[in-house]
Amino acid sequence: MTETTKMNIIQAVNLAMADAMEADPKVLALGEEVADKQEGGVVGVTKGLSSRFGTDRVKSTPISEQAIIGAAIGAAVGGYKPVAEIMLMNFMAVCMDMITNHAAKLRFMSGGQTGVPIVIRTMTGAGFGTGGQHCDYTEAWFAHTAGLKVVAPSNPDDAYGLMRAAIDDPDPVIFIENIPSYWTPGEVTKQVVPIGKAKVVREGTDVTIIGHSLMITHALSVAEELAKDGVSVEIIDLRTISPWDKETVLASVAKTGRAIVVHEAVRQFGIGAEIAATITEELFTTLKAPVKRLGAAFSAVPFSKPLETAFAPQPAVIAEAARVLAKA
C-alpha cells in the first residue's frame, strides 16, 4: 500500500513545488506575491517557499506579466527551471507574446539548441462572481499552440503528481488550477503523474464522459445519480489537455459507443471539438450516436448569480445529456 496524506490542492501544489525545489537547486519560483512577505500568493499556494529556499530563488515580482514570463524564459534558457505564476488565467492574455511566440517556439526555431523548461501556474474557474475577466477557461488557446503542454488536475493527488512532472518536463507546461476545487481535500500519494496520460476515474459501459478540472467532480456526481437509473457511466479525467491521451479515450469510446466531452470553456472551438472530431474520425462506425459536446455559453463569464450558473455546464446539464445519449 502506498502511504497517503490527506490535503487539498493548494497544499498539494505547494508540497510538489517544495519537494522539487528541495531536490533540484535549479528550480525557481516567481510571480506576483509568491514570496512570504506578500503572503505566498493570493490563496497561499507558494506559502513558505521563499522562507525555506530564499528570495533569490522565490521572487515576488511587480505586476508585469510580460516580464514575469520573459524572466522565466530567460532563466530557463540559462539553465534553470522556473515555475512562474500568472495569477489568473485571463491575465495570460497580457503575456501571450511571451508564451506563444517565445516559450512555445524557441526550441523549434533554434533547431533544438535551446529549450524552455518552464511551468506557468494559473488559476481560474467560474462560481465566485468575478465576472468576465477573472475566471475564463482559455486552455484551447494554448492547446492550439505547437510547443506547449497543458495540464489541469481535478484533485490533490493529480495536482501533486502533475506538478512534479511539469517541473521535470523539458518543455513549457501550462498548469491550470481550478479555484472552486482548491479547498476540497483528497488523499495524496506523492507519485509523479506522467504528462499525456489520462485516467479512467470511473468504469462504466453505456456512456463515456471526457473532461478535466471541475467537470470531473461534476461527472462523478452525475454518474452516481445515473447509476440509480441503470445508466452506467465511464469517466475519463484527461489530466493532460495537450498532448491528450487519445489511446485511453478511444479505447473507452470503442467500448461504450457513446461519448460526451465537457469543459467549462466556451463550447465553440473548444478542446471538445478536437476530441469529438478525433473520436468521429477514428470510431465512426462503432459510434451509437454523434459525440456530444458540452461547454459554456458563447459569452463572457457573467456576474449575476443565475446567469453565472447557467453559463457553464452544471451537473444537471451533464446528467440530461448522458440520459439522452444512453438511449440512442
Partner 1 sequence: MSNYPKPDAATLLEIYRKAALIKINDERIIKQMTAGRLVMPYYSVRGQEIIPSSISVSLDDDDYICTIYRGIHDMIAKGFPLGEMWAELAGRATGTCKGKGGPMHLTCPSKGMMVTTGIVGSSMPIAVGLGWAAQLDGKSRVSVANFGDGAANIGAFHESLNMAALFKLPVIFVCQNNRYAEHTSFADSTLIDRISVRAAGYGMPGVTVDGNDPEEMYGAARVAIERARAGEGPTLIEAMTYRFNGHVIGDAGKYMDKAEYAAAQEADPVPRFRSRLIADGIATEEQLAAIEAEHAAAVDEAVAAALAAPWPDEAELKRDVFAEEIA
Give CA torsion, residues 191, 196, 197, 201, to 10 deg: 100
Q: Does residue 71 touch partner 1 according to CB under 8 A?
A: yes
Report if residue 22 touches partner 1, rule: CB under 8 A. Answer: no
Specify whether 134 is catalytic: yes
C-alpha cell at 225: 445519480
Instruction: Tell me the DSSP string of 2-49.
Output: ---EEE-HHHHHHHHHHHHHHH-TTEEEEETT-SGGGTSSSS-TTTTH
Name the one range near partner 1 by CB under 8 A: 34-42, 69-77, 210-218, 294-302. Answer: 69-77
Choosing from 110, 133, 205, 309, the residue that interacts with partner 1 (CB under 8 A) is 110
Please say which residue, 67 or 254, places its beta carbon nearer to partner 1: 67
User: Is residue 62 at the binding interface for partner 1, with CB under 8 A as the rule?
Assistant: yes
CB of 162 to partner 1, least distance (A): 17
Which stretches of the chain are DSSP H helices? 9-23, 49-53, 65-77, 96, 106-109, 139-143, 156-168, 214-228, 246-256, 271-283, 305-311, 315-327
Which of 82, 127 has the CB closer to partner 1? Answer: 82
- Each residue 250-269 as x (binds partner 1 by CB under 8 A) or -, in order, gives --------------------
Locate 45 and state its grid cell: 499556494
**Does position 278 bind partner 1 by CB under 8 A?**
no
Distance CA 198, CA 205 (A): 18
**Which of the stretches 8-16, 68-76, 119-127, 319-327 binds partner 1 when contact is defined by CB under 8 A?**
68-76
**Known catalytic residue at 212:** no
Q: Which of residues 138-197 bind partner 1 (CB under 8 A)?
A: 146-147, 149, 170-171
Q: Which of residues 75-94 bind partner 1 (CB under 8 A)?
A: 75-80, 82
Local structure of 169: helix, strand or coil = coil
Choices 58-66, 218-226, 233-241, 309-317 (CB under 8 A): range interacting with partner 1: 58-66
Distance CA 305, CA 320 (A): 22
Burial class (CB in 10 A: 0-12, 13-18, 19+), 58: buried
- What are the two backbone dihedrals, phi and then psi, of residue 247, each rounded to the nearest 5 degrees? -55, -50
Which of 193/322 has CB closer to partner 1? 193
Q: Please name the amino acid found at residue 203.
A: E
Least Å from the CB of residue 174 to partner 1? 14
Name the residue nearer to partner 1 (CB basis): 44 or 74. Answer: 74
Cα 210 to Cα 200: distance, rounded to the nearest angstrom: 9
Cell numbers standing for residue 277: 472530431
Catalytically annotated residue among 32, 65, 139, 234: 65
Could you give the residue numbers annotated as active site?
A: 65, 134
- Contacts with partner 1 by CB under 8 A lie at 28, 56-57, 59, 61-62, 64-67, 69-80, 82, 97-98, 101-102, 106-115, 146-147, 149, 170-171
